[in-house]
């Protein structure tokens, strides 16, 4: 049986951050970046088009924020695992993330060490919030 890579979509409003996360993920053999989005609307659309295994959503995005995008994606793509990326930790935000269907919550400042394990955990159906 051929090994399938985990297909990931990245959504963040800063190009430089999208590139940075892409570079991070591309270093891993089992992960594949299948698309990037610059706002929540694009993220929802991309999720519907590409059906990724995991989608990483920045909380702060124009058009539609990460939490609401998560809600929409979770409703229409239940097989896509969602990771919320944020600059701040707040129990309220984590709660909202969980309620919107996210299985992971990662702080941007800790992304280099925590994002990849979170992506893998989410894909395996494990929670990391």
Partner 1 sequence: MIRVVVAEDHHLVRQGICALLAQSGEVEVVGEAATGQEAVELAQTHNPDVVVLDLSMPRLSGDQAAERILAMNPAPQVIILSVHDDTTMVQQLIRRGVKGYLLKDAVSEELLLAIRAASQGQMFLSPTISSSVMTMLLSPPDEQATSAADLLTPREREVLHLVAEGHTNTAIAGILDISVKTVEKHRANVMSKLEVNDLASLIQEAIKQGLILLDE
Does residue 14 belong to the site contacting partner 1 (CB under 8 A)? Answer: yes
Using the contact rule CB under 8 A, the part of the chain among 10-18, 46-54, 64-72, 94-102 near partner 1 is: 10-18
Residue 30 neighbours by CB distance under 10 Å: 13
Tell how strand 54-58 and strand 31-37 pair up: unpaired
Does residue 13 belong to the site contacting partner 1 (CB under 8 A)? Answer: yes
Q: What are phi and psi for residue 11, nearest 5 degrees?
A: -125, 115
Contacts (CB under 8 A) with partner 1, residues 29-88: 60, 87
Does residue 108 belong to the site contacting partner 1 (CB under 8 A)? Answer: yes
Does residue 112 belong to the site contacting partner 1 (CB under 8 A)? Answer: yes
Q: What are phi and psi for residue 57, nearest 5 degrees?
A: -120, 120
């Amino acid at each position: 049986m051929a090994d399938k890579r985990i297909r990931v979509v990245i959504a963040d409003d800063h190009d430089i951050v999208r590139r940075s996360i892409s570079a991070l993920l591309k270093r891993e053999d089992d992960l594949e970046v299948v698309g990037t989005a610059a706002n929540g609307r694009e993220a929802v659309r991309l999720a519907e088009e590409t059906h990724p295994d995991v989608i990483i959503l920045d909380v702060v995005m124009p058009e539609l924020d990460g939490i609401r995008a998560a809600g929409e994606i979770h409703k229409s793509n239940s097989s896509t695992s969602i990771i919320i990326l944020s600059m701040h930790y707040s129990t309220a935000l984590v709660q909202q993330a969980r309620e919107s269907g996210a299985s992971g919550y990662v702080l941007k400042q800790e992304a280099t060490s925590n994002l990849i394990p979170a992506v893998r955990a989410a894909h395996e159906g494990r929670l990391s919030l």
